[in-house]
Structure 1
Amino acid sequence: MKVWYTGFNLYNQFHSSKKYIIDDFEAAEHADLKDIVLSHTYIIVWDSNIAFYGEVNPNLSFEEVKDVRQISAADNITYILYNNGNIKKLDTVTGYITNTSNFLNVENPGNDGDCIDKIACGTKINIATTRGHRVYNIPNRLQYKGRRIKQIVTGHEHCLILDSNGDVYSFGCGLRGQLGHGTLENETNPTLIEALAGVKIQKIAAGGWHSCAISVTGDLYTWGWNSNGQLAIPTERNISVFASPKPVCFADADCNVDDVVCGSKHTVIRLGSQLYGAGWNKYKQLANIDDNNVYEFKLMKDFGLEEILSLNCGPWSTAIVTK
């Protein structure tokens, strides 16, 4: 497998390159890669081991790799979820490792066999969901009325939930319109995004203060903060906030978006073998596109016959995993 990386590299987190700013995709080989997680100052490579590259405590050591289900990171905090529902919290600055899953037993003293199956970390929000469709803003349980949870994603201060019906719920900070409810109000509990209620959604993504969703027919919707063009709505580049989901128009009206991921202020989509990016590009997180702010999707790279397995964004970087 290969990991392709572009963007911010001041802390040598993409250790195959010595450049502080990688201005076009560079590749590194990794055998048996399970996942790659990008934070601001470090990258986590999960293969037969879990390795941290970049600015981390030199004494940080993590060897409990067996039965890991998911890894999520934001800033200096990393959460590692195990198949049995246990969570370990790692502070990459201090090197401390703590268990954090006791909140489930406190909130659910009946112990009905439910356990955590998904996690998502943001700068100011850390979310866990369970097989029994419970939602926690760790450690507090929230009121969730949706169906089985398919996906959760977090921005700096907000969270999106996609359920099995194709509905999207959001909560957290809404000051930049990132919740999609048509207002700039905050929401304590997951609230259905009414503007998408008639659209069956298959994939969601959250940037620092913006949000994206792809419908089952391949249509892309974006909303939230548009400070640097990350919503890819070029006709409205002077509008900084969209508080309701807006469909993104493409020159080819028949094109279908296959995947979407977000950095702090940039958005990357996949159409077949091609990657397109919009938003902030100061650190070349959109590869070799020249502009610092990109207001509509522009081609980043065509991977041709390379089989793309996953898209990933750090706050100021983009990484692609190919077979």
Structure 2
Amino acid sequence: MKRLDVFNGDADGICALHQLRLAQPQPEARLITGVKRDVALLRQIEDEQGSQVTVLDISLDKNRDSLLKLLANGCTVFYADHHYAGEVPVSERLTAHIDPDPLLCTSLLVNKLLNDRHALWAVAGAFGDNLDEAALQLARRLSLSCEETERLRETGILLNYNSYGAAVDDLYFHPAELCRLVRPYENPLAFHAESPALRTLREGCKNDMDKALSSTPLHEDEAGRVFRMPAEAWARRVSGVCANALANQRPALAHALLTENSDGSLLVSVRAPLQNRNGADSLCRQFPTGGGRAAAAGINALPVERLDDFIRAFSCQFRRQAV
């Protein structure tokens, strides 16, 4: 039987899959992934017949039609995710573990299924998804030292950094390649200490963040801050990590980072206030190509002529939550 592993190319997707494959090795499985915003991944394989498909960290709602085709074609599907799903199809060939709780990510869901078998990777995945509170809680339960916890934090952040870009050419590593580079490491602390790939990402992230954090807000009010970045690869790469860093700087505020796409539209990353992790998804779904989860969401291509509409909606959404 053909096996396919379909996963978001960010830290959460990679760490979730790595946990599963440490517990249930499938070295022959074909890897289907892409940049973080490439979430309709099941379209690439919807004509598969009778395959075994694992799907991690992409919205079921965004992949519904393709999922239904796979099930109709006799595929068995294991699906774990924390994004908005809508109605989950009922099928004897579908096993779904979906929980949109804003304090969960797919790595943490998989860790629960595996009973902490490879929990250090779940800590890294949660840090990469900016779920510091949940990551720290698990790290304390595992009796990790402060130094070990900080190494896992950096590992998650850097894996996540590699996932942002308009296309794979913006990234240092194709996410499938990065997944293969992670594969030999049962312990993420060894990966942190030994991996040349992580050293490359560390240097790249520092250079990009130095540029990004020198920016001033395009808009700021009592609800949040909006930043706009240029149409350059470094800005696209750093958009997610920078949005998370800004959110951690001012946890009572919402944040949006706008990066210019090559066609003039805007790539939008939104973070709800860390003190109230809700509303990012409902805001972004008001615009074409928008989606995500309650705590963190985005818009792939916001028409520049709708920038003022977005800022008004952003301010309205999070001002209302702050009341």
Higher strand share: 1
TM-score scaled by length of structure 2: 0.31
TM-score scaled by length of structure 1: 0.31
